[in-house]
Structure 1
């Protein structure tokens, strides 16, 4: 079941005619919610008979939630049938680093990596996990398609007057000169800034109770793994809809 329509606003910002864009924020291993979001999008496409539909995913596909492996399977399968853009989140960046560096394992586990290990049937010892052994076990368990997916992620995506990114941007820096570190990790001073960034920044990374829609940015991370809800942003021209799938916990 889908929740009520949360918001529809008109802005000067728009995407080109003939395109409908669907953006999904931080999934964090909530594969069932992602499947519900795809059902919602499919219904919308069938109902509106829109032209070119673009799916944009804002990163943090893994960790914390119950099924990171199935989440990546769903995303990879979806991209075979639908034009899709995958932005890199800080959690994907950490996993890629963990697969090369044993010393980062404790940091990843603190950020929810244990749930990802379990989804790949890699057992985590209760005490003193051996980083090198876990890294080798995960590397072996990770399907080639998943490895290729993780290396193919992009730092950002632009469509019309919208700039899609995982975390946000650094105020005072042109969008074309943003560092990947900020694009994946920043909170402040981005969240409190009222700066006109030149485009509306669509992001996740910082969970909010309801999607946060402002003139200069839109946050669609509603904390799926904790709340049982996942937001889908729909943009047609200058019309913006945000709908949530799932049921609040």
Structure 2
């Protein structure tokens, strides 16, 4: 298939209305487009449940790729340590992983899962989904190589040799973009561009070899953003 649009979505963080607003502008066509999500689908935002349902409903759609973010990693570790499920707050055992996750946006997700009454079905499905999420993907089209991961990487290392911690957690390239000296285009989420001095739009840096996609959906000025890497067309939430 010839890719006509190589689309990438930044962090959603449970902001369902913002995500839907951006997604509906894209008019995704799996027969000609490829769409990659950089992770962090939940946490911080108050509407994680419809985001979870949408993602699970599209997880096997052609030419959609969902990557793992650090918030998926935290969610998985916390929930795997909870023996009693999600019946109520009293049923959730406070483990060290849960205590780490809650103040990092997990509190909003857990509250909404419990309030929705859907946690019993959604939780096991989401955990299975996370187990299958890749940490990165590579796309080659129009003579260019694109690397996608949630947070960071070492441009000089092959993707198979990257550390999971760096891929999920680090911010070096976002804060030191001049260190992207490779020929590939590296596309990252994780670091809200507002936090490092940019406007809330995708940032195309280093002559197009580094792209920052987290436009701080949960911040007061934040948006959910999608970018077509082949044309530079930006689709953002209202």
Sort the TM-score into its range (normalised by shorter chain). Answer: 0.7 to 0.9
- 1:163 is matched with 147
Say yes or no: does 1:180 pair with 2:164.
yes
SS of 1:243's partner is strand
In structure 2, list runs of 5 or more residues that go unmatched.
82-94, 194-198
Residues 176-234 of structure 1 show CA distances to partners (whole Å, capped at 9, x for unaligned) of 31111101111126630423234111111000133211132100111001134111111
SS of 1:229's partner is coil
8 Å contact 1:174–1:197 — kept in the other structure?
Answer: no
Determine which of 48, 51, 54 is the counterpart of 1:74: 54
Ranked by relative contact order (alpha carbons within 8 Å, sequence separation 6 or more), the top structure is 1
- 1:26 is matched with 11
8 Å contact 1:169–1:190 — kept in the other structure?
Answer: no
Determine which of 71, 90, 95 is the counterpart of 1:91: 71
- Cα distance 1:81–1:189, how it changes in 2: closer, same or farther (>3 A)? closer
TM-score (norm 1): 0.76
8 Å contact 1:175–1:197 — kept in the other structure?
Answer: no
Task: Note the C-alpha offset of 1:172.
Answer: 4.2
Within 5 A, what are the aligned runs for 1:1-249? 17-42=2-27, 45=29, 51-101=31-81, 102-121=95-114, 140=120, 142-160=122-140, 161-188=145-172, 191-194=175-178, 195-208=180-193, 209=199, 210-214=201-205, 215=207, 216-226=209-219, 227-236=221-230, 239-246=231-238
In structure 1, list runs of 5 or more residues that go unmatched.
1-15, 124-136
- Cα distance 1:117–1:55, how it changes in 2: closer, same or farther (>3 A)? same
TM-score (norm 2): 0.79
The Cα RMSD (Å) is 2.5
Residues 24-66 of structure 1 show CA distances to partners (whole Å, capped at 9, x for unaligned) of 0100001112212221111x65xxxx84221210000010001
| Number of equivalences | 211
